[in-house]
Chains A and B, each alone.
Chain A
Amino acid sequence: MNRFGLPDLGVGVGLRRPHYSHVITERPSVGWFEVIAENFIVDGGRPLQVLEQIRANYPVVLHGVSLSIGSTDPLNRQHLKNLARLAQRFEPAWVSDHLCWTGVGGHNLHDLLPLPYTDEAVFHVAGRIRQVQEALERPLLIENVSSYLTYADSAMTEWDFLSAIAEEANCGILLDINNIFVSAFNHRFSPTEYIESVPLDRVVQFHLAGHSDYGFYLLDTHDHPIRPEVWELYEYAVRRFGRVSTLIERDDNIPEFPELMIEANEAQRRAQDAASGQHALATS
Chain B
Amino acid sequence: MRLEELQRLIYRLVVAPNGVGEGLTLEESLPDGGLEAVIIGDDRLSAEQRLDIYANAYFYRLLDVFKEDFPATLAVLGETDFHNLITGYLVEYPPAEPSVAHAGQHLADFIRQHPLQKRATFLADLATLERALIESFCASDMDPLDATAMHTIGPEEWPSLQMRLHPASQLLELDHTIEPLMRSVERGESWSYPPRKAETILVWRRDTQVFYRTVETLERDALLLTQTRASFASICALIAESCDKADPTVVINQLLSRWIADEIFVRSAA
Q: Which of A43, A67, A103, A124 meets B138, CB within 8 Å?
A: A43
How far is the CB of B228 from the nearest CB of chain A, in Å?
Answer: 24
A2 to B8, CA, bound (A): 37
By the criterion CB–CB under 8 Å, are B53 and A217 in contact? yes
Q: Say yes or no: A72-B7 contact (C-beta < 8 A), given A107-B96, A109-B15, A148-B54.
A: yes
Q: Say yes or no: A76-B208 contact (C-beta < 8 A), given A44-B168, A101-B7, A148-B54.
A: no
Residue from B36, B98, B139 with most neighbouring chain A CB atoms (10 Å): B98
By the criterion CB–CB under 8 Å, are B10 and A66 in contact? no
B50: interface (CB < 8 Å): yes
Q: Which of A44, A79, A111, A121 meets B3, CB within 8 Å?
A: A121
**Chain A residues with CB under 8 A of B136:** 45
Q: What bracket does the count of chain B residues touching chain A fall in?
A: 35 or more
Q: Per-residue 0/1 for B26-50: is the Cβ within 8 Å of any A Cβ (1 yes, 0 no)?
A: 0000000000111110001101001
**Chain A residues with CB under 8 A of B137:** 45-46
A229: interface (CB < 8 Å): no
**Chain B residues with CB under 8 A of A71:** 7
A192: interface (CB < 8 Å): no
Q: Which of A68, A110, A121, A151 meets B58, CB within 8 Å?
A: A110
**Chain B residues with CB under 8 A of A44:** 138-142, 167-168
B100: interface (CB < 8 Å): yes
Nearest to B102 among chain A residues (CB) is A108
A66 to B99, CA, bound (A): 7
How far is the CB of A241 from the nearest CB of chain B, in Å?
Answer: 30
By the criterion CB–CB under 8 Å, are B208 and A49 in contact? yes
By the criterion CB–CB under 8 Å, are B3 and A105 in contact? no
Q: Per-residue 0/1 for A97-138: is the Cβ within 8 Å of any B Cβ (1 yes, 0 no)?
A: 000010111111111010110101100100000000000000
A39: interface (CB < 8 Å): yes
B205: interface (CB < 8 Å): yes
By the criterion CB–CB under 8 Å, are B8 and A105 in contact? yes
**Chain A residues with CB under 8 A of B99:** 38-39, 41-42, 66
B218: interface (CB < 8 Å): no
**Chain A residues with CB under 8 A of B3:** 72, 115-116, 118, 120-121, 124
How far is the CB of B187 from the nearest CB of chain A, in Å?
Answer: 21
B223: interface (CB < 8 Å): no
Q: Which of B53, B100, B141 meets A110, CB within 8 Å?
A: B100
Cross-chain pairs A/B with CB under 8 angstroms, 14 sampled: A43-B167, A45-B168, A48-B141, A68-B98, A104-B8, A111-B58, A113-B14, A116-B3, A148-B45, A149-B47, A150-B39, A152-B40, A153-B38, A216-B45
Q: Which 4 A-B pairs have the closest CB atoms?
A: A44-B141, A46-B208, A66-B98, A72-B4
Give 14 new A-B contacts, CB below 8 A, not counting A38-B100, A41-B99, A44-B139.
Answer: A45-B168, A46-B137, A72-B7, A103-B11, A103-B96, A105-B11, A108-B95, A109-B11, A110-B58, A110-B62, A111-B14, A153-B1, A153-B38, A219-B53
